[in-house]
Structure 1
Amino acid sequence: MSVIIERFTKATKSHYELLLDADPSRKVVDSYLSKSHCIEAKVGLKVIGVIILLPTRPNTLEIVNIAVSNDFQGQGIGRILIEYALEFAREHEMKTVEIGTGSTSVGALYLYQKCGFRMTHIDKDFFSRHYDEKIIENEIELRDMVRMSQDLC
């Protein structure tokens, strides 16, 4: 399988299906898309993954959304996207890459740590404060965000 990684500027229905799988609020997703570097993973013409990179503080890039199609999960696509993001950050002279994920997102926590991210803190009740509806993941109500980062220098 040949995976192509490239930037996109206009989110299509295929992009939104993935983006909203990782972040269920269209309002939140729309709030960061126009300010971000948007990257897609494709096999042929099919979009199978996305990663959204938002410059935040000076020399800091945050991965604000990453998602891989269910049919392609477990095949290393997420890791490829994260490695692309880290290289992108280095090329743009960033010093730190950050990412946040739900405290109930065990698969994501595992992947991010395998890719070199370290936990920095817990943002208690993040999802309760920012989302109108409860989010249930792995049969647990998602309330807290685990913040992680990786220094590139």
Structure 2
Amino acid sequence: MTSTPTGPSTPAAWHITTMNPAEAPWHLLLLADPSRERVKRYLPGSTCFAARQTEQFTPSGLGALIGVCVLIPEGDGLHRWELMNMAVSTAWQSKGIGSALLLRAIREMRERGVQQLDVGTGSFGDQLLFYQRLGFRVTDIERDFFLQNYTTPLWERGVQHKDMLRLTLDL
């Protein structure tokens, strides 16, 4: 397990580490993807990063989990990966943790020689702006994705999610 040292862009209250996918926190994973079955399919074989609270240590001594980022290889995994899950505990949102998690993942993908990072998200909402601020661009629309792949409708601010936007970041 490697850790990103605390620095000017990482407040001392938390730090980013790599994580074994088997240890990924379900309470966070289900914030971003409410389908436990879907998460169970993509979690094995993934690369995970965790944001951990520095002041609140767990019995393992690693710090309480406050954020998670899960990526999987596409195809041979040499050129393209997909961000499958990105979540930060509600109490810790809007503190730069999500950006730090994703920037750490982007840096590692670049170091591996990956050329593109993809993500699928709803066609509206804060998460779309989050990815666009970090340089992702819309490349496709999967019509009715949320209607066809989730048994329970997904709502945000009184609007039902139906279509999924595919975004890509060229690394």
TM-score of the pair, normalised by structure 1: 0.93
Partner of residue 98 from structure 2, selected from 74, 78, 92: 78
Q: After the TM superposition, which residues 55-134 of structure 1 pair with which residues of structure 2 at under 5 Å, given as runs?
A: 55-58=73-76, 59-104=79-124, 106-134=125-153
C-alpha distance after superposition, 1:13-69 (max 9, x if no partner)? xx1111001000100001000021011100122111000010113410111000011
Q: Counterpart amino acid of 2:42?
A: Y
Runs of 4+ in 1 over 6 A off after TM superposition: none
Paired residue total: 149
Which structure features the higher share of strand residues? Answer: 1
Aligned identity (percent) is 37
| CA distance in 2 between partners of 1:136 and 1:40 (Å) | 27
Looking at structure 2, the residues matched to 131 and 11 of structure 1 have their Cα atoms a distance apart, in angstroms, of: 25
Alignment match, 2:27: 17
Give the AA of the match of 2:134.
C
Shift of 1:11: 2.6
The separation in 1 between residues aligned to 2:137 and 2:131, in whole angstroms, is 8
Which ranges of structure 1 fall in alignment gaps of 5 or more residues?
Answer: none
Instruction: Please state which structure has a larger fraction of its residues in helix.
Output: 1
2:48 to 17, 38, 44: 38
What is the rounded CA distance, in whole Å, between the counterparts of 2:19 and 2:70 in structure 1? 10
SS in 2 for 1:35: coil
> Displacement, 1:132?
1.1
**2 CA distance for matches of 1:71 and 1:90?**
30
